[in-house]
Structure formats: structure tokens, C-alpha cells
Amino acid sequence: MFPLDDFQIERYFGKHNTETKTVLAKLNDNDIAFEIDLLKKKHAREKSGMSLEKYLDRTGVRYLHSLMVDLLKSAPELRMYHRIKNSQGNYLISKCSVHRSAPDLSFEVEERAGGGLYIQPLIHTDMGIFSLENVSVYKFLVDVKEGNYYCLNTADYRTLEWLHLSQPEQYATDPVLFSQRIVQKLEETHKVNRNNLFQKQEIKALPENCIYVSEISDSLLMFTPKWRYENIIIEGDWKECHETIRNGEMYTIFRDQKAESDFLDYLKSLHPNFSKQSGKFFYLNFSDAKKKQWFLKTYHTLLEQSIMMIGLEMLKHFRYSSHTPVNSLTILAQEEEILTLQLKIHFGKEKISLSELQKLLLAGQSAILLKDSTIGVFSEEWLDQYAFIIKHGKISGDHISIPQWMMLSLEEGEAKTVLKSSVEEDWIRKWSDWQDEHKIVYPVPQKVNAMLRPYQHKGFEWLALLSEFGAGACLADDMGLGKTLQTITFLCFRQEQRQDCRHIIICPASLIYNWEAELRKFAPHLHTHVHNGNNRNIAQFFENNCHILITTYGTLRSDVEKIKSIPWDTAIVDESHNIKNVRAQLTKAALTLNAQNKIALSGTPIMNNTFDLYAQLSFLLPNLLGGQEFFKREYAHPIDQDRDQEKVKALQKLTAPFILRRTKEQVATDLPSKTESILWCEMGEQQATTYELIKSQIKDSIFLDIRTDGFAKSKLNILQGILKLRQVCGSPTLLSDFPEHSESVKICTLMEELENLKDNKALVFSQFKGMLHLVAEECRKKGISYFHFDGDTPVKERQHMVSQFQEANNTTRLFLISLKSGNAGLNLTAADYVFLMDPWWNSAVQQQAIDRTHRIGQDKKVFAYKMICKGTIEEKIIELQDKKQMLSDELVSAEDGFVKNLTEQDIMYLFD
């Protein structure tokens, strides 16, 4: 209540010791102000880049914390008071306790009742354990119960501040990110109970034997046995399971006792001294290691048995060789895309075994033990030139077989120059010209019925160049950038070169008619045949002299024997992540296709992990990535488990020439401000059967009404019949007569599209509230967070959701909106994708919905998709709109305007 000057301290605290009085004196306002002034000067001197406010918050609080700790030590019985606000809002001063014992801090991962993860900090005190949400925290002081305070240590209250600023709630629906960004960081300093809420990756594999070589006390050479399970290295005594965390994900490794024991027995046999040692590690003095070249001989023996040697380049006693590697690389033969090379490498007079060198490089080593007991080192420049070739090649003596395509992935230098000599100079020139955005390598075929945008022209040229080189290509542009058009242009290009060639397109069932419609639109001269359904007959494709066979992944799997026997000019796999599983029958079927050119289309070649890429690129470029185990060990496991950035760069370098990805931001100047497309959907058997049943019932009823009451008086029934069929197109569940979990092709298609969007925000509109609830239910199942409003949502709540959605750092990227309640008056420019679940005749209403995002303030390109069920009343309405030119606002301003303009013949067409 008074300044703590000397008079007040002597008056009230005179009985306390000098130490306590000294600390109390420092709690004087003037003393604190003086200390803060010193901190300001220190901040100015250090020029740390941290703001003064943040600096004082950190150092000033630390100073006060130290005073409190000192006070508790010197006067633990000192009476304390705090000022609190009562229920009437008045401040009262009452007695409190600041406990001398410091609490501990731990964390629990818990699951919210509505789904999603959260982290619960726990304060462990001598009064019990308290969750953070049930206590009051004032920087380092925690009031756990009715004025019982504990003083957190500096690290703990800083941890709580970090946790608050990290906003763990933004990762609530993403367990991997939640673990990586929050849990794993906390585990570095605190105990975290994960409560088995994170999926554990199980590893059951034969271990690769490893030896870590190191030196002790400049006198002993030590060999530590280790085992690599996939990409995780384990050492020490055997136990059945080993658990570890890599980048936030938990791994349980089931260790192979026999394999590990056999390896230890083998190591003990390598030197008489080893049999007397513990088995956890083995050691020799330097002289014994060099005697009769024991180390050199053992080193080569271990390499021959594929036992990895780690740490060689860290040895100091074994001197480095004065020689650098000298190489001789020549092309011996070329058979189609495979080159056979002769590579000779010498350190001085010693020739290096390519097979031994391959094992070293695969083990991540860049040094080799030479016969004179020196260590030969491969420089970064040498590795950039030759490591790719040696790692990925098939070795026999001094011969290496590699795909010719690898030339494109190499750094400029000696090796690339040699490989370039196997490629025609004209192609090299065209590949160079393609890099120049102003040069045209191939003109667009005249029969393509479209004007390609500059980036689309480049994409077509890239496909054509790789085709000429004999390499496959993965076109991975963002959704909406025209992958289909670029591919169709390439097919027209191929048709110009060979008029009798045939192509196959394999895609999800939902995209069959998108392809058919796009080909009809952009290349009407190419005749297509859809090979799908129970009555499919591949003979018709040849009888009708068609150019392009369009089929589904499921049909490919069923009819693979027929399809693989046909020599295709071009095989296209759309949404190529469907063949990411190398063990699946579908992938095996795709790999058997006999095609001169292969193209994969996908906005997301990697869905879950790096290994997803393996099957897709094996389809396009056999032999480029090596065997499965090699790819896992060399790339997939280091990238996915360890987030190894060097491996990420190496894989990008290897695959970059064959994967072309452009984002909307990269090609923004080439895009219109708004692109509208139709997203065709094909019903499954169950939904199609329901649709035909309802259509038959409505048709009989409507035409009976027309005969009885006349056409004019039947228009309300016609409108109701159309509405009912549109609901079935969305989901039969919208009709009360059908089960809750009827299949819906539109919901399945929408989910696929949303998964491809990644960081983009999207609006989903539907005229039917029930449809939005079905989409919301599916989003909850898949862990997709969303906002949702319809006519029942209060206006204030709507605006609050809109404000949150518009925030740049808000991670909820989906907004479900009722078409009637959300088609006007809203600003949702954070979104750049719009999906209209049930488009209708009133284009003005649809445009108003799209314009929630396509309006002033939008700095991104907008893509809008109308979802239409193929072969249904939705498709026929679009055709009638075009036929009658009913897209103008005058004709469609009222809901019955559409029906008023229909004839009886039109009604027959709609319900046929």
C-alpha cells in the first residue's frame, strides 16, 4: 500500500533478516524503474533485432521472477496479500499464500467431444495436480486454488507462453502436424502423455547390418554394431520393440533377435580380441588394426556382404589420401532408352570397385579406405557429377546401365557432356529453346478448337519434347489450369504425325464424361469410345474406327488382358495417384500397358508419403528410380521419417525434368479472372437405379396430368417432378423414402476435389439444406474443418463466420452455404474455388453465388465448377438452355420462367 522505502521496510519488516530487507528494497517502484532503464540501454547496445516491448517482457519478467524466488528463499513465512475483484466488481485485498516449492509442468494430449485434438497443460503441486484451464496464470505466478500461488520456473512459464502463441487449435484436425508442431516441441523439455491418440507406424522388416567406426583417446579404433530398420538406426541390447518419434510421428520397430544376434556373432569372429569383449562394441588399438592390413581386408569383406560402414570420414588417425579421383566415362552401347556405360575410377594407381563404391554411396558415405590405409575422399563436385549415376545404375564390373533420361537430371559437367552425346543435337536445341518463354518449339495443331494460353502452350510442348525423347511425363498443374486441354493438344499432335495411331485414357469413373465432353469440344475430329459398364465391348472401338478409348481404373483392372495386348500410341492416367500403391492389382495392370508414350495427370502426385511417387514414375519412366527397396532407403524413408532436406533436393533434382507443376500464382498473368467449368459426375449403380425408378414414376404421373388437365395447368407438377429428380442427382437421401446412407456421386466427387485443393479456400453452394448437411457429415468423417450456414443461421452468426473465414491465418478452408441465403451480400474473397452442387436454370442466382468471391478485393483467379450428373435431367436442362438461348436474365428471372418456355416436346425430352 506504500512505497517500499527504508522507513516502511523497517516499520513493517524490521524483524526479518538483512537478506529479506535487501530483496524487499529492490521491489520499490523506483528500483524497478531503474532496472528497466538499464535493460533498455542494454537492448540498444545489443541491437538484437527484437522489439523493445518484447525484450522488456522477457528480461523484465525474468528480473521480477528472480526477486520473487529470492524473497521466498529468504522469508518463506512472509505474509502475502493479493488484490482480487469480488462478484460486484469491487477490488478487495485479502490474504494469500505463495508456496515455496516450485511446481512441475507436464502435458496431456486429449480429444475434444466434437472431434479434434488439444493439449492440456498440467501443474503438479504439493496440493495436487491442476489443469491449466482451471487455474489463473499471471506470467510466472499460478493461483491454483483460492489464493494459493506457486511460482513457475522461467522455462515453464516461457513454455506456456510459446504454447499460447503457437495456437495448437489450428492443427486440431491434423494429427501429424499437431504432433510435429506442438507435441514434439514440448517433448524436448517436458513430459507429454500422448494417450495413444496418435497412430503408430509399425516397422516389421529384416534389419540392415551397420558398423559405426570411431576413434577413442587417439589410440583405439572402435566398432559399434547398429541395425537399420527401414531408415531408423538402432543400437544397444536387444529388446522386442523399440519406440521412437520422428518428426512428430511415432514408430514401433519390432526387432529381429536372431538377425541381430547372428550379426554380433559374426563380428566376434572377425578378430581374436573381439570374442573377449562385451558385444555392445568392439575395439582394437591402432597397431593391431593395421597389422597384416586387417582393417583394410575386413573393410572390404564387410562391404562385400553389404554391411554398411558409417563414420569413416571422421577418422583422424588414418590419414587422407593425397590423390583425387580420376574418372574415365564412355558410352559402350544404347538399346532403346538404356545406356551401357564404362566408368573407371582411380585414386592414384588404385582402381576403385564400382560395386563397393555403390554400397558406400548408398550408405551415405563420401570416403573410401584405400589399400595403403589412407582414406580417399570424393568431393561435393565429384558427387554432383557421378553419385546419381552410380547409385541408380545397374553395375557389372566397370559397366553401368542407366536410363538415358537421367541425363536431364545431372548437373552440367563431364558426365552430362558424355551422356548428351547419345542424344540428337536437334532435340538438345529444342529442349534449350523450350526454356525460353518467347520461343515456340512446336505450333499448336490446326485442328485444336481452342486458343491455348502461353503456359498451356508450354505444357503441350513439354509433353511433345519428352515424347520425342522417349520419356513419360507427369503434368501436375494446379486444379483448373487446363491439364486436359494440354493433353488433348498433344493427342492431336500425335495424330498429325501418325493418322492411324490409337490412344487410351484411364480415369476415375466420375471423369469419363468430362473427357468425352472436352474431346468433343476441343478436338471434334478425334472419335472417342467409352469402354465401361456391364455391356462394354472393346471390339466396337475398332469397328467404329475410333481414335481414343476412354475407360475407368476399375475396368482396366478387370479387362487388363484385352487392353494390354493393344499397342497404344499414348496411354494417359488421369488422377494418377490412383496407381500409387505398387502392390495393388490396379497398379500392376497399369504397368503392363503397351504404349509408346505415357502421361500421368495429377494435381497431387504425392498424397500421403514420398513412396506414392514411386509407382507413378515407374509407369512413366521404368528404371529411373531403381528398385522399391532402393527407393525407400534412398529417398522415401529419409524424407518422410527424418525430413532430410538434402534427400528432398536430390529427389527433386532427379524428377524435375519429368514433372511439370505450375500454380495459379505462377501463371496468374495468363489466366482470366474467372473460369467456369462443368464437373461431370456419373452415378453409381445404386444411385442410377433409384434415379430411373423415380423418373419412371414422375413421367407416368406428369403425362397423365397433361392428358387430364392440359399442359398449362400441369406446370406446377412438372416443376415439382424436376425438383425431385434434381434431389436424386444430389443424393437419394434427400427424399424421405430412401435410406440415410444412399450413395452420392456428387459428394464423392466433391471430396476428391477438396482433397486436391491443399491450401486454397473453397465455397460450396447448394439449393438444398439437406445436401449441405450431408456434405458436412462427410467432412467430419474426413477431418475437414468447415463453416456452414443456411436460412436457419442467425445473421450475426453468419457475419462472424464470414469474418473468420476471411482471416489470412484461419485454417478452416471450406464454407458450406445455402444458395438462397448466401448468394448475395457476402464478401468471401478469401476463397478462389466455388462448387455449385446443384446448378439450375437461374444463371443470375448462380452468378451471384460465384461473385461472393469474384469481386473487388479478390487478388486471386477464381475457378467455379457446376456439378452435373451425366445422362440425367441436369444435363438435358443445360442442353435446352443452349438450344433455347435461355441464359439471359430476362428469361430466367423467375423460378417458373424456365417451365413457361418449355413445350410438351421439351417435357418428353426431359423425362425420356
Best mean pLDDT range from 440-449, 600-609, 838-847: 440-449
β 674-681/503-507 pair status:
unpaired
Neighbours of 203 (CB within 10 A): 19
Integer CA distances (angstroms), 709 to 697, 706, 712, 721, 912, in order: 18, 5, 8, 16, 21
Three-state secondary structure call for residue 241: strand
Phi, then psi, of 250 in degrees rounded to 5: -90, 140
Cell numbers found for residue 10: 523497517
Mean pLDDT along residues 753-766: 86
Q: Find, among 493, 503, 682, 482, the residue nearest to 601 by Cα.
A: 482
Mean pLDDT along residues 284-309: 86
pLDDT of residue 322: 77
- Calculate the dihedral angle through the C-alpha atoms of 566, 571, 573, 578, rounding to the nearest 10 degrees: 40
pLDDT of residue 128: 93
pLDDT of residue 889: 34
pLDDT of residue 8: 85
Mean pLDDT along residues 781-807: 83
Considering Cα of 882, then 885, then 888, then 894, what sign does the dihedral take? negative
Rg of the chain taking only CA atoms, in angstroms: 36
Which residue intervals of 75-172 are DSSP H helices?
A: 154-166
Integer CA distances (angstroms), 869 to 268, 535, 614, in order: 70, 20, 34
pLDDT of residue 57: 78
pLDDT tens digit string along 670-709?
A: 766 778 888 888 888 888 888 998 888 888 888 888 888 7
Q: Please tell me the distance from the alpha carbon of residue 454 to that of residue 463, in angstroms, as a whole number.
A: 15
* Residue 575: DSSP 8-state: S
Q: Is the pLDDT of residue 798 over 70?
A: yes
Residue 112 CA, chain-centre distance (Å), reads 25
Considering Cα of 668, then 670, then 676, then 677, what sign does the dihedral take? negative
pLDDT tens digit string along 713-724?
A: 777 888 888 888
Q: Please tell me the distance from the alpha carbon of residue 716 to that of residue 902, in angstroms, as a whole number.
A: 13
Q: Is the pLDDT of residue 441 over 90?
A: yes
Mean pLDDT along residues 331-349: 91
The percent of residues above 70 in pLDDT, for the chain, comes to: 94
Q: Find, among 106, 113, 286, the residue nearest to 190 by Cα.
A: 106
pTM for the whole structure: 0.64
Residues forming a β-bridge with 789: 817
Q: Is the pLDDT of residue 136 over 60?
A: yes
Integer CA distances (angstroms), 578 to 318, 442, 556, 590, in order: 52, 31, 12, 10
Q: Find, among 139, 100, 137, the residue nearest to 122 by Cα.
A: 137
pLDDT of residue 657: 92
Q: Find, among 60, 53, 69, 2, the residue nearest to 34 by Cα.
A: 60
Integer CA distances (angstroms), 148 to 137, 160, 331, 376, 884, in order: 12, 19, 81, 67, 79
pLDDT of residue 677: 85
Residue 526 pLDDT level (bands cut at 50, 70, 90):
very high
pLDDT of residue 895: 45
Residue pair 729/691 in contact (Cβ under 8 Å)? The answer is yes
Q: Is the pLDDT of residue 495 over 90?
A: yes
Residue 607 pLDDT level (bands cut at 50, 70, 90):
low
Phi, then psi, of 827 in degrees rounded to 5: -110, 110
Q: Is the pLDDT of residue 891 over 70?
A: no
Q: Is the pLDDT of residue 312 over 90?
A: no
Higher pLDDT, 905 or 622: 622
pLDDT of residue 890: 34
241-248's contacts with Cβ under 8 Å and 24+ in sequence apart are: 243/200, 245/179, 245/184, 245/187, 246/641, 246/642, 247/180, 247/184, 247/641, 247/642, 247/643, 248/176, 248/177, 248/178, 248/179, 248/180, 248/181, 248/183, 248/184
Best mean pLDDT range from 113-127, 292-306, 562-576: 562-576
pLDDT tens digit string along 33-89?
A: 888 888 888 888 876 667 788 788 778 888 888 888 898 888 888 888 898 888 788
Residue with cell string 524424407: 639
Question: Which helix (H) or strand (E) segment is 261 a member of?
Answer: helix 257-268
Integer CA distances (angstroms), 116 to 108, 113, 405, in order: 14, 8, 46
Cell numbers found for residue 13: 519488516
Angle 541-542-544 from CA coordinates, rounded to 5°: 70
Q: Is the pLDDT of residue 760 over 50?
A: yes
β 394-396/399-403 pair status:
antiparallel
Angle 596-478-483 from CA coordinates, rounded to 5°: 35
**Helix 380-392 crosses helix 645-655 at what angle (to 10 degrees)?**
60
Mean pLDDT along residues 301-330: 84
Mean pLDDT along residues 594-605: 89
pLDDT of residue 352: 93
Average pLDDT, the chain: 86
Residue with cell string 524435375: 656
β 338-347/399-403 pair status:
antiparallel
pLDDT of residue 595: 95
Q: How would you classify residue 613: left for phi > 0, otherwise alpha for psi between -120 and 50, otherwise beta?
A: alpha
pLDDT tens digit string along 829-855?
A: 888 899 999 877 666 667 777 777 766
pLDDT of residue 880: 74
Residue 740 pLDDT level (bands cut at 50, 70, 90):
low
Q: Is the pLDDT of residue 635 over 80?
A: yes
